[in-house]
Structure 1
């Protein structure tokens, strides 16, 4: 129960790594807003947790919708102790010059602008309370990039730098900011990362991971619950690889 009495927003919380983080946070005693563009999926997931979870449908690249999400969380949960910026997308593997402008804009909006917007609407609340924990879900792609995923890699490199500069600026306000860097995992994005989900492509990916398996939502939940708990009160600005040794 390391998060007992805490409240949290998890973006992209209705599936994949986000769902694993939501489940672990609730198991550790937190009340969680599951914020997702898939409002129906968020509602269905929240229904299984009674009053420990609420759902909120949100497009995280829209200023007004993120503002409404923050206001709803404060009204419903009482306050926001933890923010997990998990929502993210990628583009199909291809040469960097072949990615369309529309796809580039979409990746940068979801992976980058969303972090700016949640900070804009939630950091002032945390500053007023002189406490808070922000966790950004980045990627090993921002540390050891794979070819053909160039603009996705860049967006996650941005998130790693954002984590460190946010940590430095917000530390005097009592707000900690950390990140996790997962390797490819058993999530809806896996097929997109690989281009095609075949035994051969899986074997190629797994050959680059020393522990020999993909990340799981449960892996992300376990690390996230620690970094967002009071046990990690001296940890800020850390971008932790949760990658089975991929970045060694």
Structure 2
């Protein structure tokens, strides 16, 4: 497997580099929002260059998209739903999905939930929540929910999809345990031994994906331990990989 990128996901996928010849995984690009147009333009160029690379060499491209394009009224979080992203980041990723599909390259598009684990960047959700909880105050938007997937299971799911020869598909890669942010905060406080003041900041959409297609394509994912409350075990492993002290960089709550 050819791996493009050097960030959080790429580092955790390195053990798969000896497998899946003929597959190029693009694990680089815009990692978060909001970012300037120049960052989006750089990622579009990177995707275009990688498409040409794969077309020239007859390789399959694995492109990482996002479930954050879900959440519009009536959306069921299914891959075949009409998608109307509510975030600029979702619009950007949806445009890149179209670029990949229209190019004619052999591809697999994966819409990722919130992948967490050791070494994730300090601006991401859990790192920010830990910092704010330890500071004694956290602000969250009402209705916020996240499907959390530990990076170990993410790598296992990708391996299963490639071993099954899945191609030409768009697939949600998530746990199916889409947790309320309040429940996530409750569990973090329990594990950290903290009790912070909580403030609310209006309503937001929930980016909860369906995992029915994933389970249909690779039924083996049922053995990975997903189910109600999975997010708690994923958080426990994230915390165990620490450290998560007051030196965490200040971030913006997604």
- The whole-number CA distance in structure 2 between the counterparts of 1:205 and 1:237 is 37
SS of match in other structure, 1:138: strand
User: Which residue of the partner structure matches residue 223 of structure 1?
Assistant: 157
User: Which residue of the partner structure matches residue 94 of structure 2?
Assistant: 157
SS of match in other structure, 1:185: strand
Residue from 8, 30, 54 that aligns with 1:16: 8
Kindly state the Cα deviation for residue 221 of structure 1 after the two structures are TM-superposed: 1.2
Stretch deviating more after TM superposition (196-205 or 213-222): 196-205
Residue from 23, 47, 52 that aligns with 1:120: 52
SS of match in other structure, 2:107: strand
Q: How does 1:39-50 map to 2 (within 5 A)?
A: none
Q: How does 1:200-215 map to 2 (within 5 A)?
A: 208-209=145-146, 214-215=148-149
Kept in 2, the 8 Å contact 1:178–1:238? The answer is yes
**Structure 2 unaligned runs (5+)?**
73-84, 177-207, 211-254
- Over 3 Å counting, the alpha-carbon distance change for 1:122 and 1:205 in structure 2 is farther
SS of match in other structure, 1:191: coil
- The whole-number CA distance in structure 2 between the counterparts of 1:202 and 1:236 is 41
Residue from 30, 55, 72 that aligns with 2:19: 30
SS of match in other structure, 2:51: helix
**Structure 1 unaligned runs (5+)?**
1-7, 32-79, 94-98, 127-131, 171-175
- Over 3 Å counting, the alpha-carbon distance change for 1:88 and 1:19 in structure 2 is same
- Over 3 Å counting, the alpha-carbon distance change for 1:83 and 1:226 in structure 2 is same
- The whole-number CA distance in structure 2 between the counterparts of 1:193 and 1:119 is 31
1:104 aligns with 2:66: no
TM-score (norm 2): 0.51
- Over 3 Å counting, the alpha-carbon distance change for 1:19 and 1:204 in structure 2 is farther
Q: Which has the larger radius of gyration?
A: 2
User: Which residue of the partner structure matches residue 69 of structure 1?
Assistant: none
1:242 aligns with 2:188: no
SS of match in other structure, 2:123: helix
Larger strand proportion of the pair: 2
Query: What's the Cα RMSD here?
Result: 3.5
TM-score (norm 1): 0.52
- Over 3 Å counting, the alpha-carbon distance change for 1:163 and 1:156 in structure 2 is same
- Over 3 Å counting, the alpha-carbon distance change for 1:116 and 1:134 in structure 2 is same
Kindly state the Cα deviation for residue 191 of structure 1 after the two structures are TM-superposed: 2.2
- The whole-number CA distance in structure 1 between the counterparts of 2:94 and 2:126 is 19
Kindly state the Cα deviation for residue 240 of structure 1 after the two structures are TM-superposed: 1.1
